[in-house]
Amino acid sequence: MSNKTPVSRSGRFASEPDASVAEFSESVSFDWRLWRHDLLGSMAHASMLRRIGLITKAEEKAIVRGLEAIGKEIAEGKFRWKPELEDVHMNIEAELTRRVPAGAKLHTGRSRNDQVALDMRLWLRERTIEVTGDLRRLQQALVNLALKYDTVVIPGYTHLQRAQPVYFAHHMLAYVEMFERDHERLIDCFRRINVCPLGSGALAGSTLPLDRKFVAELLGFVDSKGNARLSQNSMDAVSDRDFVIEFCSAGALIAMHLSRLSEDLILWAGAEFGFISISDAYTTGSSMMPQKRNPDIAELTRGKTGRVFGNLMSVLTLLKGLPMTYNRDLQEDKERLFDTSDTVLATVRMMTGMLGHVSVNSNACSAAAGDPALIATDLADYLVRKGVAFRGAHHSVGRLVALSEERGKPLNQLSIDEFRSIDAHFQPDVLELFDLKRALARRSIIGAPGTAEVKRQLARWRRILKTKR
Ligand code: ARG
């Protein structure tokens, strides 16, 4: 094999591909990112070939040393990637073979089809664990902010209309719950990524007695009991990318949750709400309007959701029409996967950093939370306790609200006679309902935003986040 001949073209082809074809079809410009995993997979494969007697100990050593040297050069930025060699796999193998004769035996019993599936799984396994760690830190940042402002009450909203009072902490913990499910999804997704496809060959395994279990164990494709996890169908192993789709899907949900959190922060940072300030480190100014302090990081996080959703749709569409087994279309999975993983990682980290730079403006919050209309539901509950059917109670309180609007005074400034003019079940003690402290003490059931319950949930999350990674 001449140095210039791409590995897969030796023999069968008389000429090099047209330059435009090579440029169109190369993937090394993006799949070079798999280099570390490609090296690891090749080293494990070489060890296995030695174990089953297809290469000698000396050849194994030469291959592993050669791969290590290449790895060092790549890490130092000294390796010259050649687009004419198409992808990361052929670049590394061709360079190895140029340096080490035994390199020509490395591809024994292996195809780039099972090799690329392996590299992707190795890469994504690592990334998945990284994202789970970052999600934990994001949850921690939310809990920290909640703890710092654990006495602050804000209106909870439905339809973006003030609805009922909640602790600011309760609002933060809602996101902690969302990110917890995202975390679970990634762990679940990891189980299916963590399956070794090597040994599936191009599509039909190999006639050679490859020791698949040995390779899987070397590369850590094992379950919690240490048993090797091997793909059980060679065609499935080289052609499906559902593990990529699952990750992109889990990533899309994370992006969606981040986007909602961003939206809340953006609204709250505006003068109309004024609930929070984001410090200079995480805001930008306007080139024209000197007074502006813009929540760009939250906006970009919200904006990047689009590409993460798009990536999911891309990989789903990529797979849907593919006949079995490997088709070159599959090369298109990488940029989408990389983009989702990079974007999710970056946005989770930026959000975590930003939450450390959010301060809550208690005055604005308590002014908004002090709106007596937020207690309307409590008034209905009061009547229910007096034996009124809820629908009737709801109706009476509705009339009370209409009366307060008509008289131009807030609910809590209506006289007891005015209350009783609508429903005789109202007693003078009804006015105590408007005391926000008591209102929050009343919300004591599991999951409610009451004082004791929010305290309990905060303690629960502190415990969970301390013990879990
Ligand atoms: N660059 C290819 C990919 O990303 C690697 C596998 C190529 N296999 C092949 N039969 N051409 O999918």
Q: What would the pLDDT profile of 216-263 be if each residue is shown by its tens digit? A: 999 999 999 999 999 999 999 999 999 999 999 999 999 999 999 999
pLDDT the model gives residue 8: 55
Residue type at 210 in one-letter notation: L
User: Which residues make beta-bridge pairs with 359?
Assistant: 277
Q: Phi then psi for 196, rounded to 5 degrees? A: -90, 120
Give percent above pLDDT 90 in the chain: 92
Residue of the CA atom closest to atom 4 of ligand 1: 331
Extents of the domains making up the chain? 19-108, 113-160+167-367, 371-465
CATH number belonging to the domain at 371-465, selected among 1.10.40.30, 1.10.540.10, 3.40.50.150, 1.10.10.10: 1.10.40.30
112: CA distance to ligand 1 center in Å? Answer: 6
Non-local CB neighbours of 341 within 8 Å, separated by 6+ positions? 124, 127, 131, 247, 251
Q: If DSSP codes are grouped into helix, strand and coil, which group holds residue 151? A: coil
**Which pLDDT value is given to residue 17?**
78
Over range 89-106, report the average pLDDT.
98
pTM, whole model, 2 decimals? 0.94
CATH class of 113-160+167-367: mainly alpha
Q: Say if residue 281's pLDDT is above 60.
A: yes
Average pLDDT value for residue range 315-322: 98
Q: Are 206 and 199 in contact (CB under 8 A)?
A: yes
* Residue 171 known to be catalytic: no
3-state helix, strand, coil in the chain (%, to 5): 65, 5, 30
DSSP letter for each residue of 220-278: T-B-TTS-B-B-S-HHHHHH--HHHHHHHHHHHHHHHHHHHHHHHHHHHHSTTT--EEE
Sign (positive or negative) of CA dihedral 434, 436, 441, 443: positive
Q: What percent of the chain has pLDDT above 70?
A: 97
Dist. CA 196–CA 168, nearest whole Å: 46
112 in ligand 1 pocket by Cβ < 6 Å?
yes
Q: Is the CB of 91 under 6 A from ligand 1?
A: no
pLDDT at 2: 40
* Ligand 1 pocket check for 328: Cβ under 6 Å: yes
Q: What is the dihedral of CA 143, 147, 149, 155, to 10 degrees?
A: 60
- What tens digit of pLDDT does each residue of 10-20 get? 677 877 778 89
**Token representation of residue 365:** 């919050």
Task: Say whether pLDDT at 459 is over 70.
Answer: yes
Ligand 1 probe mutation, 37, 87, 90, 334, most atoms within 8 A of CB: 87
**162-213 confidence digits (pLDDT tens):** 999 999 999 999 999 999 999 999 999 999 999 999 999 999 999 999 999 9
The catalytically annotated residue of 10, 25, 279, 286 is 286
Q: DSSP string covering 354-391, please? A: HHTTEEE-HHHHHHHHT-GGGGHHHHHHHHHHTT--HH
Measured distance CA(47)–CA(290) in Å, rounded: 65
DSSP 50-73: HHTTSS-HHHHHHHHHHHHHHHHH
Q: Is the dihedral of CA 42, 45, 47, 50 positive or negative?
A: negative
- The residue among 8 and 45 whose pLDDT is bigger is 45
- Identity of the amino acid at 144: N
Name the CATH topology of 19-108.
Answer: Fumarase C; Chain B, domain 1 (1.10.275)
Q: Does residue 7 carry a pLDDT above 60?
A: no
| pLDDT tens column, 283-302 | 888 888 878 889 999 999 99
Which residues are CB-neighbours of 163 under 8 A, at least 6 positions away?
155, 156, 157, 374
* 59 within ligand 1 shell (Cβ under 6 A): no
Find the mean pLDDT for residues 414-435: 96
Confidence of residue 282 (pLDDT cuts 50, 70, 90): very high
Which two three-digit tokens encode residue 391?
A: 């629908």
Which secondary structure element, helix H or strand E, spans residue 149, and what is its range?
none
3 state DSSP class of 86: coil
pLDDT tens-digit series, residues 109-119: 999 999 999 99
Residue 286: active-site member: yes
- In this prediction, residue 371 has a pLDDT band, given cuts at 50, 70 and 90, of very high
Sole residue written with tokens 């340096």: 99
Whether 331 is in the pocket of ligand 1, judged by its Cβ within 6 Å, is yes
Cis peptide before 97 (omega within 30 of 0): no
Distance separating alpha carbons of residues 283 and 298, to the nearest angstrom = 9
